[in-house]
Chain A
């Protein structure tokens, strides 16, 4: 049997529209961060010992109750035709560059990938995985792109720090920052030539 606090949190995680952050849980139930975390663990224990088909997902910076991924093949049938197709390799690579290097310009993405990424970027924008995050204050003021919370949710990430191999990638990007900039500026020069 779950205690009162755990029951309250469980109810929140079922009814919420988007993942509830720990802070919000504390705010709504009036408990402290630590007791909220403990209560979440108790709910999880209860769910798994009872063999329930729902689990607590940690994603997009918060928690919510979802169906067990193992049962996706059953539940997925309810949404047949509505589910998005998987992202292409080109889209995933583009998304990876933007995710780790955001805000990033298209030229920077193309510099890393070594290939035109126009259509991949468009797909990602359409699918709300990336958004325009301003303009870079360099000649031509190219658009800057960043990831959305939909991106985090789609990959089950609770925040950007939970991207795979964050430290490793950050170091690598630091080391190659100059290379990327140089290649990107070469690319944007080529582009402006084309326009003329």
Chain B
């Protein structure tokens, strides 16, 4: 009888807790790592951003972008973001009677990439490589040059194909409209994150003044009652226009791939003289061995970090091997610095796509955010020769011999 009573009390307690109400709505995570970086870069030791900064930045972003449950699209972003798609991807996971889904981002992406696209979702610390932080606006595998956002096609392709050898899955089983919704939401998070970083950089240049130049006590009610039109142009929309313009023009900046030279056979390992020419370039002019190593197994002598780590690690001059110096950043949400592992080309796995054109673009454009540079000094024929050599590596027996 005692046990029955205990059970009843426990059940009532749980139900009473449940009756307290639904879970708190989820908010975007503030980029505190960027704030600390800016403070380290531009302020004297012990000085910090004004107390109101966080609230100001958060409020401006809320006005222009809404919340994770109710995304907004400002006029500036109307050309590149579809609000219907954003609503499909945003919010908690649920679906309508006809199967129309909502909350696609939280269903498929948030556990790794995080609610705000900071690449620090719940599972992030255990994944290698870390999930992408969208807030820098940098994407590795794309058809556009460095410092240019990817096209929708690039993002769709990564979502569709996944990235082999990583935790990034293939969403090929999702309908096209759901993938399109996720692409728009990734762009939305990326643009939001870029504006947040821009605003924080702006604050660092204000010499301790408030972004709105108003008293802190008046800040909250004034900002909260603002509409998107009322945000001062010089603070939000002007910066936003610049960021959006870069995304808008991405399609026009796709790197054209010239026709492969005679002797290059798509789908074959034997490319004749091109392969030996490529091997020569691999060891000499291309300087590929520095990272990929002489065996092309990714065992070169250089130790590098990617841009997502360097952004908060090297920019403010923090020693990556001094744990104590980067602990404060980790406490704010940064992930432990990990050196980049150059690709083992002998495996024949190319994360950005294994078609000859994909590898050509990888070599020509480099890989954004990674130590892989764009090959400014190589002609298109030389790049094709490198493609031929790289493609042949998985088959070649003499691949480890120096030319």
Partners in one complex: no
